Amino acid sequence: MATGTYYWRETAAPDGYELPDPNVFGPLELTEDNAAGGVQVEARNTPEDEPGPVTGQVQVLKTDAETGDALAGAEFELWEETNGVDGLQTDGADPDTQVGDVCTTDTDGECAQTVATGTYYWRETAAPDGYELPDPDVFGPLVLTEDNAAGGVQVEARNTAGDEPGPETGQVRIRKIDAESGAVLPGAVFELWEETNGVQGLQTDGDDPDTRIGGTCVTGVLGRCARTVEAGTYYWRETAAPDGYELPDPNVFGPLVLTEGNREGGVQVEAENTAEDEPGPPPGPGDEGSIEVEKTDAGNGQPLAGAEFELWEETNGLAGLQTSGDNADTLTGDCTTGASGGCLFEDLEPGSYYLRETAVPEGYELPADPVTGPVRVTEANAEDGVTVRIDNEREGDDGHGGYGDDGDQGGDDGHDGGSGYGSGSGAGSDYGTK
């Protein structure tokens, strides 16, 4: 090539890479002095953004086998086919994988989860009141593909009305927390066992073990696992700790005794995990805290999914919550309660906050005053966080506010007219402690 000035122009990038902008490289000056070795320029390409996984909805519709009417109150688990064996396996050495929390069908008879493409099964664990649990109780497989992901896939599960009401049931729950800070921990794996062999304590092997209930459960964002079961004695067994934590020894928590007297509220135990060696620094004064909402039915105490909340920080120095105008308080986030009835606001600086309920679950009334607070996050409670229980009345019932964990009525130092922990519509509580 003769001496002169040259440019390289890239017209097509390698597979998986973006065409650079500008796509011209140079000038390259070829002279008599450098002609023997030539001249060179380096052109760099950036990989294209990796597309995220294709997702879609997997749904189940619960109906009356005779009338076709939609049925609320059926409880389902969603399982993904992961072990390569036809059909659903929920226990044994290599079970399939449970996805998310237990889902209770709404007034439209539906449960739905948004998941990546794959093969799924819905497993019914509790029938609506007055109906029999179907046999078999597994519905699927439902195959979600890239082609059908936009519309999703659905199966209909029919129930037959029972001659007599089924057994009374309640929830058995476990809450996984950090042993030092009290923070909730997602990612712990648990099994639920029922005491059935008459021998004190849990026996998982041998000639006459106790009875395992369902498949494994993985704690979610609220650090909880829950199962709806009949009255009896139960144990939670932790089989894998969250990342960065040691498996506790012993790893069995219980017994939890569910009776006719406590089944409406259920029974719960806390399980602590200790961080592995080289943990981060422990929380100290002034560290960030959290506020956890527990949304329940005012009549029976059952958890309610689908309630929506805003969290506002008191920043304008005026009593009560102001959400508009030139000097409003500060909106810090929102959340929607899940199947366990909970949602969590984290990384909160010490201060005063208000919970404002903006939407209620289907079939329930929004309180006349939807504001709860002030809820105080302090240095003293930052490690454990603050839990606020808020009840909803069913449509047509008399309204009443939330209750705290200890059942105390609301005090006089809070939001004027707030629903608070106490019942009625008087002055709200000062939520300074958990």
The ranges assigned to domains in the chain are: 1-50, 55-159, 169-273, 283-434
> Is the CB of residue 274 less than 8 Å from the CB of residue 367?
no
CATH code reported for the domain at 283-434: 2.60.40.10
Length of the chain: 434
**Beta bridge partners of residue 157, listed in sequence order:** 62
Task: Give 312's Cβ-side CA count (13 Å radius).
Answer: 22
Kindly list the strands in the beta sheet with 308-313, ordered across the sheet, starting from the edge strand earlier in the chain: 330-336, 308-313, 351-359, 371-377
Structure confidence at residue 17 (pLDDT)? 84
Q: What are the DSSP E strand ranges found in 127-261?
A: 138-144, 153-159, 169-178, 189-194, 211-218, 224-230, 232-240, 252-258
**Beta bridge partners of residue 233, listed in sequence order:** 257
Q: How many of the other CB atoms lie within 10 Å of CB of 276?
A: 11
List alpha helices for 210-318, DSSP H: none
Give the predicted TM-score (pTM) of the model. Answer: 0.36
C-alpha span between 321 and 317 (Å, rounded): 10
Six token digits for residue 266: 């259920």
CA 275 to chain centre: 22
> Is the CB of residue 185 less than 8 Å from the CB of residue 282?
no
User: What b/e sequence results for 350-375 when a residue is b if at least 16 CB atoms lie within 10 Å of its CB, and e otherwise?
Assistant: bbbbbbbbeebbeebeebebbbbbbb
Structure confidence at residue 367 (pLDDT)? 87
Here the contacts of 279-282 (C-beta below 8 Å, separation 24 or greater) are: 279/180, 279/244, 282/180, 282/181
CATH code reported for the domain at 169-273: 2.60.40.10
C-alpha span between 335 and 309 (Å, rounded): 5
Give, as one character, the DSSP assignment of residue 20.
P
Residues of the chain with pLDDT under 50: 279-286, 399-434
Structure confidence at residue 38 (pLDDT)? 86
Architecture of 55-159 per CATH? Sandwich (2.60)
Q: What share of the chain is helix, strand, coil (3-state, %, to 5)?
A: 0, 45, 55
Which residues, 6+ apart, have CB-to-CB distance to 205 below 8 Å?
none
The 10s digit of each residue's pLDDT in 266-284 is: 999 999 999 987 544 444 4
Whether 283-434 and 169-273 are alike in CATH topology: the answer is: yes
Considering only the C-alpha atoms of the chain, give the largest distance between any 2 of them, rounded to a whole number of Å: 102
The residue type of 289 is G
